[in-house]
Structure 1
């Protein structure tokens, strides 16, 4: 006993504090379910630490000898109505049914229950104790019989879940008004309602040694690139962590370049966006407990597109995309250009405007860079406060704070009016970027550009843009260039980038994504004649026949 205690102390001193958890996991993996019901119940209670949310219902069943039966579930993860109506009521209602069955052994009773009594979706036989614990934690209900070293896992998942609501981060005037929720099964079903094809495949695996989070890979067989799919599975298989809390954990583990400021995977809450990306040959990763699945590979241009672009006329959609591109440039370079012009290149400013700006800055005690930095940091603080505060208070803080602080700073002579206009215009332009991941990246890069502009003027901005473009060209997302179809140059894929051409001309999928079935069925490169053109041709034909 002393030797064992000494060995345990030595292991703990070496930093193996996780010994108890690892040993417990090895122990549960090493034995099967016992024949004795009392021993199984004792092991289950000990494994859960006698948790109060563990539900156990024991009763007797079978004739002529009564067998002890137990139903085990976890409150909040299982649906009590299904347990009561489809399992317990069915079992207890067949206790005296001697005309149908007269089981003398637990194995006969076990088989009869599984094949004739249970009215649930699935009933799986479980023999290992660790798998029994996993099914319990997944919301399933376990049925155990005394004298039988097997259990039945009944599908009775339920509990309180958030209902499907309108998208909050990606709203749209036209299009579906539904968004993903935290339930993995609900999310995959929402996509299946839109793609009614057996080629839509879903593969589920469990990640996280402690959290045991379900992760589903969804793709369209025949459209997805097999190399891309294999690479995704291999990278997911290499994830060895204790917890998978959200999509960001998986994103950082499987990303090609975690040091780039650009987002390399598209997270969305809209099922129609996922549907469109799947039909282009991409892969979608759903995570249990996360309403934002990951779409990969994602290119730079996708973060300036919205689902509403495909519900509007092509001319309006193209105009809005160009507007977002201009807003992106303003968000990235607006304050830095203002700093460069005032500090290094005032000769490029019209004389009347320069005189007005110089008059405003006479009483300003700070350089232009410090002034812009103070305003940008103040706006970022107000933005963060508006997000973290409760919604009614957050809106008041962001609006009133910006107005009061801006006006007070101008009247106090700390900030010029022109700087307030520049910062406010930059903030408004940033709101047009559809995806928050790209907005955050531009917010970070804006400060770098401001520093370069304060140091070297327009030359610094030019150098920063060159380095940024070179870095962006080097980024890969699962082997696909991040700037495709611009680098490498694929003119045929420009139809759905800065502008969106009419639907009949969107006849091909992105060449670098699918690489298998690039032609869309039902579309053509040339549009057929309109009804008016057909009528005109018919009139010409009739006239020619009459003349003849």
Structure 2
């Protein structure tokens, strides 16, 4: 069945406002029929002209409406020869007043929180922005906390999020384009980039992908992400999502494009690579030696989170000769009463651990962490005593779970947790050969992925000399003179020459 537009919207699209106020009011009452929260406020302009204000309760600041609009418009004015619309523009002490002439424009303005002002004998209305709905205060993102670095995070209000970015990049070349996506939701979606840094082809491609979206509503960034990514069937995220303004600012300075969605605290960054998903903003706020060490440790734990259970199953099932004799005797002794093979034992524990993790996320914060920790301890001990699993398997699954928490991006961590299960199955059926086959399939898939035309393994394949300074280790800032290749032929240098500090650089 084809996706069709609302008949009401089609019928109102080209209709002009009437000069008859009562006719306009009748039109809007039909459009907003059965909307008990809409207000129609009649009054007299200048004591003689009939007028009407239309707005939704809870979306307008009543104090400003009374003080800066109603009281001023109802004052007696001696000059009666000026155009009423011009007089209203001069009289109102509000930041933004937009002239509207079409019925559907008026409906859209009312639905987005503006106050519509209609005057008798005038075919032009005024949309007054007096938005007064509640907003969440700026606070540190709970999913991207840092020891050192900025503490502010994005909110669900797009104007606040844009301001947080402009506070960090005070450059007139920071451009923003806004579209309304969603036939019913009419959600504001903005893309931001720095002109002369971002590749023009990339900017145009992002804009065209956003423009082609035709959907009834956009509630969260995931709606947009799944409609614009290059490989929608891949489990790997091809767009980076973040709640941190500093991460967005750093990405803009590297020539990337960011996308903001009104109503969501998450901002999308494109293009992205596997390496950028494994990097944390705190890597750049620590001394480069410490940041590099933490990054290397993170890469190690990424491998552990993906491969440790499958390696344990493969070695225990097919390659016992790889373990020291005392260790294999100890493991075999602990598994004497376990009735399941290693692959079943691993799958049982992994599924149980994922259930505990999900329960900890969904339960209220006060008891979620307690349930996760206590549940893991109690269930693990009970499973060992019941002979369902062995103590080494519990240790392997626990270490794997801890390793997965070191991945900075939740969606990438979820991808590795998902891939862990087929790797266990391959290890249980083919041993080390199965693990090698699984890794080969994953690597082949990663090599085929692109994010807005940029290879997903960029920095490794193809390998670039400049990218190696921010790959396995984080080189000091005075060595990172060039930007990533996303900028193409544009400004490649982020700093001047001879930036290495030292006593000889102390002054002229």
Instruction: Provide TM-score, normalisation by structure 2.
Output: 0.97
Query: C-alpha distance in 1, partners of 2:232/2:160?
Result: 30
Q: Determine which of 236, 240, 248 is the counterpart of 2:214.
A: 240
Matches within 5 A, 1:359-398: 359-398=333-372
- Find the counterpart in structure 2 of residue 530 from structure 1: 502
Matches within 5 A, 1:14-93: 22-62=6-46, 66-92=48-74
Matches within 5 A, 1:202-241: 202-241=176-215
Query: C-alpha distance in 1, partners of 2:197/2:356?
Result: 45
Matched, 1:108 2:83: yes
Matched pairs, number: 508
**Structure 2 residue ranges without an equivalent (≥5):** none
Stretch of structure 1 that moved more, 328-337 or 506-515: 506-515
Matched, 1:251 2:233: no
The answer on whether the counterparts of 1:77 and 1:137 sit within 8 Å (CA) in structure 2 is no
Q: Which has the larger radius of gyration?
A: 1
Query: C-alpha distance in 2, partners of 1:374/1:447?
Result: 11
Q: Using the TM superposition, give the Cα deviation of residue 529 of structure 1 relative to its aligned residue in structure 2, in angstroms.
A: 5.7
Matched, 1:269 2:215: no
Q: Using the TM superposition, give the Cα deviation of residue 513 of structure 1 relative to its aligned residue in structure 2, in angstroms.
A: 4.3
Query: C-alpha distance in 1, partners of 2:501/2:386?
Result: 67
- Find the counterpart in structure 2 of residue 399 from structure 1: 373
Query: C-alpha distance in 1, partners of 2:12/2:62?
Result: 28
Query: C-alpha distance in 2, partners of 1:250/1:529?
Result: 44
Q: Which runs of 4+ in 1 moved over 6 A?
A: none
Cα gap change, 1:418/1:336 in structure 2, threshold over 3 Å: closer, same or farther?
A: same
Q: Determine which of 257, 282, 292 is the counterpart of 2:266.
A: 292
Cα gap change, 1:529/1:332 in structure 2, threshold over 3 Å: closer, same or farther?
A: closer
Q: Using the TM superposition, give the Cα deviation of residue 527 of structure 1 relative to its aligned residue in structure 2, in angstroms.
A: 4.5
* Superimposed CA distance per residue, residues 168-225 of structure 1 (whole angstroms, 9 cap, x where no aligned partner): 1000011111100000100001000010111111111100111111100100111000
Q: Using the TM superposition, give the Cα deviation of residue 514 of structure 1 relative to its aligned residue in structure 2, in angstroms.
A: 4.4
The answer on whether the counterparts of 2:238 and 2:451 sit within 8 Å (CA) in structure 1 is yes
Matches within 5 A, 1:97-176: 97-98=77-78, 101-103=79-81, 108-114=83-89, 116-176=90-150
The answer on whether the counterparts of 2:46 and 2:73 sit within 8 Å (CA) in structure 1 is no
* Superimposed CA distance per residue, residues 121-175 of structure 1 (whole angstroms, 9 cap, x where no aligned partner): 1111100000111111121111100111110111212211111011110000111
* SS of residue in 2 equivalent to 1:373: helix
Q: Using the TM superposition, give the Cα deviation of residue 437 of structure 1 relative to its aligned residue in structure 2, in angstroms.
A: 0.8
Matches within 5 A, 1:340-489: 340-489=314-463
The answer on whether the counterparts of 1:62 and 1:109 sit within 8 Å (CA) in structure 2 is no
Query: C-alpha distance in 1, partners of 2:98/2:335?
Result: 76
Matched, 1:301 2:275: yes
Q: Using the TM superposition, give the Cα deviation of residue 528 of structure 1 relative to its aligned residue in structure 2, in angstroms.
A: 4.3
Q: Using the TM superposition, give the Cα deviation of residue 61 of structure 1 relative to its aligned residue in structure 2, in angstroms.
A: 2.0
- Find the counterpart in structure 1 of residue 302 from structure 2: 328
* SS of residue in 2 equivalent to 1:219: strand
Q: Using the TM superposition, give the Cα deviation of residue 317 of structure 1 relative to its aligned residue in structure 2, in angstroms.
A: 0.3
Q: Using the TM superposition, give the Cα deviation of residue 331 of structure 1 relative to its aligned residue in structure 2, in angstroms.
A: 0.3
Query: C-alpha distance in 2, partners of 1:260/1:22?
Result: 34
Query: C-alpha distance in 2, partners of 1:529/1:363?
Result: 64
- Find the counterpart in structure 2 of residue 541 from structure 1: none
The answer on whether the counterparts of 2:254 and 2:486 sit within 8 Å (CA) in structure 1 is no
* SS of residue in 2 equivalent to 1:244: coil
